[in-house]
Chain A
Amino acid sequence: MTAVEIAAAVRSGQRSARSVVDEHLDVIVGGDADIHAFNLVAAAQARVRADEIDGAVAAGRDPGPLAGVPVALKDNLCTRGLATTCSSRILEGWTPPYDATVVEQLHNAGAVVVGKTNMDEFAMGSSTENSAFGPTRNPCDTSRVPGGSSGGSAAAVAAGFAPVALGSDTGGSIRQPAALCGVVGVKPTYGLVSRYGLVAFASSLDQIGPFTTTVADAAAVLDVIGGPDARDSTSISEPQPPVSHTLADGVDGLRVGVLTELSGNGIALDVAARLQAAVGALESAGARVAEASVPAAVYGLSAYYLIAPAEASSNLARYDGVRYGLRVDGPSTPDMNTATRSAGFGDEVKRRIMIGTYALSAGYYDAYYGKAQKVRTLIINDFASVWEQFDLLVSPTSPTTAFPLGERTTDPMAMYMSDVCTVPVNLTGQAAMSVPYGVGDDGLPVGVQIMAPALGEPVMFRAAAVLEASL
């Protein structure tokens, strides 16, 4: 059942939320040993919450648009009373005293949190292999990675553990694993979804979004979690129209650009073929398709791998052993800080903290962080001129299908290349999503990325619905 179907059934009293939740918990118990999508399954809490929802329905109250829908949360979203680890040893033993805004919103919409999902440590990675608690496996082929960093959330939805999961996307961490696991994944416009309670990786790039099996489910979730939040200064202060209402409006007359810089070089042939098929489907539905060029987009990855680590080096400074999480004692406070951070962070996190610290250092700032910000501005400007000619852009989400576990763990550059198609949109703050569109030569899922200008979600979802229907 999709999330929309579950909510309809629970709201109308046809099904109990408890039975829905029990069913999903059974699937998790049966399947997660092989997948390791979850860091924590909150079974007891989920059942209590399901009973509350059933009580509300019985009393004639409407529990909300996601009534009884099981939701898995990436383990970097703060949950009151539930450990939040970011898949890092450094947060060992820490339980947040508060819920992230999105968690409150889901709760108020009647959703049921079933657990916290595995991820690359502090969302740094593209395969979920950088987890202190071991990798997640791709439900489509357990010898393959699910992508990352929100690999646990993508796998949870692909494996049927939950119809909905939330992830965070800093450079593609929702869209890339969605593509590799064959599910829908959305990175909303920066500021559309509150970041309050999302443990920061790179604040100017991070955005929370949903994983679902259908486009309509993604729309329903986005309509719940989008909107202004006074606790996040970067939240867009005007309410936006719901995306669900215009899902069926089609793409007739829309101008769609195939982004050449992200669709040619380095893209596997089978992936490129699926993009062509998707473009054909959009044309058949009445879209006018042409090639589009954003020349600066090719510098996106380089700029991203300076800006994101720079912000991360500062965001992750607070894990110092003083207030919460791991503490490894030392003879002085600086020694304790060093010992704690040396023991608590994994290699990839340390690598990025070092890169970021270097990029911000006196004497290097202008050459690295400063230059990267100029590139970011250039990319924003290039996209702005493209938006004068196009309503939407498309590209592959990932250059390849899911790769084998261990293939890229010793080659950071190869791993970073996994993000080449997704990163530019984080730098610009625009909306983008990945829609599954068939399989590659290896039989593994391929995702198509649809990009829209800021707050272009309604139009983006219309194209996603057309693609979904054309399969």
Chain B
Amino acid sequence: MSDEAQTIPGLGAPADTEWETVVGLEVHAELATATKLFSASPNRFGGEPNTHIDPVSLGLPGSLPVLNEKAVELAIRVGLALNCRIQPSVFARKNYFYPDMPKDFQISQYDQPINVDGWLELPSGKRVGIERAHLEEDTGKTVHIGGGGRIHEAGYSLVDYNRAGVPLIEIVGHPELRSAEEARQYVSELRSILVAVGASDGKMEEGSLRVDCNVSVRPVGSDRLGTRCEIKNVNSLRSLGRAVEYEARRQIDLLTSGQPVEQQTRHWNEDDGRTHALRSKEEDYDYRYFPEPDLLPLDPSTEWVEQIRHALPSLPRDRRLGLAEAAPSVDIDHIALAVERSMDDLALAAISGGGAAERVMTHIVQNLADGSGELAPESLADLVGMEEAGDLTATQAKKVLAVLVEGGGSPQDAAQTLGFEAMGIGELESLVDNLIAEHSDEWSRYCDGDNKLTGFFVGQVMKATKGRADGKAVTQLLNSRRG
């Protein structure tokens, strides 16, 4: 084994090597403030270009930043929700030239960020470490005109500074994710938390949530990290999964063919489904960070932090735990889905109102669309009760539910309106007994063990009841009559 191979995990590994993907994510989320991080211009998506601007967000000579207190509060909410330590922090200037950055430096936080050392729990129960979650300002947007919108072929470029100075929180996770799927779960969970605490709208499609992923690979069992590449331009959960998978594959192919992975910043191209090299480590900027002299150090009082902590809403993880406790037999994915869709309050209320947990959760996950949260939990509980009593079939219950979501009312009334009037067990019994008498031949064959005749009898019952009977209940009844 060469020296190089000893220092690079997996270099020249045999084709049958089992690989592990290592992912660490940096997520930028726009904070949902009314105004920008350092000025009074509105923080609003869209708008005519260069209308949400002022001397400060344009970085005009002589302008000075003034910190937005609401942004700090939202950052602290995020820090608390991610189990971070909230500490005194310092703003720093990150210096590099870019046309959409008005001052040619970005005000960010560097060696003393506001939130450090937290963790986030995935629905699976796995905890992922959060290194830091710091405040910084967003840049403007450059539009390249001509040449199909590509920078190198463009005739000219236009810059829109509406977004410049919008508050961001950058959440840096430890490289503890081990697959594309875990990376997706992490971002999904993080987004739910950001939305739950009111810090961000979490819209990846509008760029309010942006993900940079650091990907490396190593043979399973290796305790050293491989060389990582940072992937930019990942704009949806779907792209995230695809980009991580592609990049891991690319790195594995390099290593197995004996080529080391070069540390690079790469760009995900949604159209060709590949990542492309943007710049190597050597070409990286020297940001020349230093403390921002125009702003004072930020030192939120303990009282303020505690006040924010007490006002925090319950977080997705707690809500999952709560629902899982009320519905212990229900699959964790369904629990997570219900919480993600903010249907957990309805589920909990229906269950505590007497609805059988599994049936309640089936309706929540399969039969109710987002925004059905206004359905009265008692109605859902009653509906489930009718199913349990055999008064409604699953198919009927779904139809009743649709009526309830549409216009409210009680499930009993809705069932009646739909013609699903209650069919008591007594009615069903007499019907079945009549059928047995009418079809004595078939019955004796059935009693001799010809189970194919189950279908015949159920079909007869359905025909007689125009589908009102519960097939399952009929089968049970036939069985018990057979003795």
Contacts and interface: CB of A to CB of B under 8 A. Distances in A.
Query: Which of B67, B99, B159, B290 has most chain A Cβ within 10 Å?
Result: B290
Query: Which of B60, B62, B65, B295 has most chain A Cβ within 10 Å?
Result: B62
A211 B418 CA distance: 90
B246 to A, nearest CB: 30
Contact of B99 (A202, A310, A322): A322
Contacts of B295: 233-234
B9 interface: no
Interface string A192-223: 00011111101110000000000000000000
A196 B64 contact: yes
Query: Which of A197, A230, A233, A324 has most chain B Cβ within 10 Å?
Result: A233
Interface in A233-275: 233-234
A211 B469 CA distance: 99
B157 interface: yes
A360 B288 contact: yes
Contacts of B442: none
Given A232-B64, A361-B286, A317 B95 contact: yes
B67 A233 contact: yes
A314 B61 contact: no
A202 B294 CA distance: 10
B66 A230 contact: yes
B103 A323 contact: no
B241 interface: no
Contacts of A317: 95, 97, 103-105
A314 B93 contact: yes
Interface stretch (A40-48, A56-64, A90-98, A405-413): A90-98
A232 B157 CA distance: 33
A358 to B, nearest CB: 10
Interface string B58-74: 11111111110000000
A351 interface: no
A196 B60 contact: no
A362 interface: yes
Interface string A342-362: 000000000000000100111
Contacts of B67: 233
B290 A360 contact: yes
Query: Which of A76, A231, A324 has most chain B Cβ within 10 Å?
Result: A231
Nearest to B294: A203
Nearest to A195: B64
Interface in B140-186: 157, 159
Contacts of B129: none
Contact of A78 (B62, B99, B104, B288): B62
Query: Which of B58, B104, B288 has most chain A Cβ within 10 Å?
Result: B288
A333 B157 contact: yes
Contact of A233 (B65, B102, B157): B65
Nearest to A325: B61
A86 B424 CA distance: 92
Contacts, number: 97
A121 interface: no
A204 B290 contact: no
B293 interface: yes
Contacts of B294: 200, 203, 233-234
Nearest to B157: A333
A334 interface: yes
Interface string A93-113: 010111010000000000000
A75 to B, nearest CB: 11
Interface in A301-353: 310-311, 313-314, 317-318, 320, 322-324, 333-334, 337
Interface string A69-82: 00000001110000
B316 to A, nearest CB: 36
B215 to A, nearest CB: 25
> How large, as a class, is the contact surface on chain B?
20 to 34
Given A98-B55, A233-B67, A200 B159 contact: no
A39 interface: no
A361 to B, nearest CB: 6
A202 B105 CA distance: 15
Interface in A107-163: none
Interface in A357-400: 357, 360-362, 365, 369
A226 B254 CA distance: 65
Contacts of B64: 195-196, 231-233
A318 B102 contact: yes
Contacts of A202: 293
Contacts of A313: 95, 288
Contacts of B159: 322
B102 A323 contact: yes
B62 A100 contact: yes
Contacts of A196: 62-64
A84 interface: yes
Interface in B196-252: none
B95 A91 contact: no
A311 B293 contact: yes
B296 interface: yes
A311 to B, nearest CB: 6
Contacts of B290: 310-311, 314, 360, 365, 369
A334 B97 contact: yes
Interface residues of A, number: 44
A361 B64 CA distance: 24
B65 A96 contact: no
A204 to B, nearest CB: 4
A97 B97 CA distance: 24
A337 B66 contact: no
B93 A96 contact: no
Contacts of A362: 286, 288
Contact of A357 (B59, B288, B293): B288
Query: Which of A199, A322, A333 has most chain B Cβ within 10 Å?
Result: A322
B97 A320 contact: yes
Contacts of A203: 293-294
B61 A199 contact: yes
Interface string B30-64: 00000000000000000000000001001111111
Contacts of B105: 314, 317
Interface string B63-107: 111110000000000000000000000000101010100111100
A195 B62 CA distance: 8
A124 to B, nearest CB: 15
A296 to B, nearest CB: 21
A119 B27 CA distance: 46
A86 B60 CA distance: 13
A360 B292 CA distance: 13
B62 A318 contact: no
Contacts of B61: 78, 84, 86, 91, 94, 96, 199-200, 318
Query: Which of B59, B61, B99 has most chain A Cβ within 10 Å?
Result: B61
B97 A198 contact: no
A233 B99 contact: no
A230 B69 CA distance: 13
Contacts of A314: 93, 95, 105, 288, 290
Nearest to A204: B293
A320 B66 CA distance: 24
A271 B132 CA distance: 56
Contacts of A365: 288, 290
Given A78-B60, A318-B102, A318-B103, 19 more contacts: A84-B61, A96-B60, A98-B60, A196-B62, A196-B63, A204-B293, A233-B64, A233-B65, A233-B67, A233-B294, A313-B95, A314-B105, A320-B97, A322-B99, A323-B58, A324-B60, A333-B99, A360-B289, A360-B290
Interface of A: 76-78, 84, 86, 91, 94, 96-98, 100, 195-200, 202-204, 230-234, 310-311, 313-314, 317-318, 320, 322-324, 333-334, 337, 357, 360-362, 365, 369
19 contacts: A78-B60, A91-B61, A96-B60, A197-B62, A197-B63, A198-B62, A199-B61, A230-B66, A232-B66, A233-B294, A234-B293, A234-B296, A314-B95, A314-B105, A317-B103, A317-B104, A317-B105, A324-B60, A360-B289
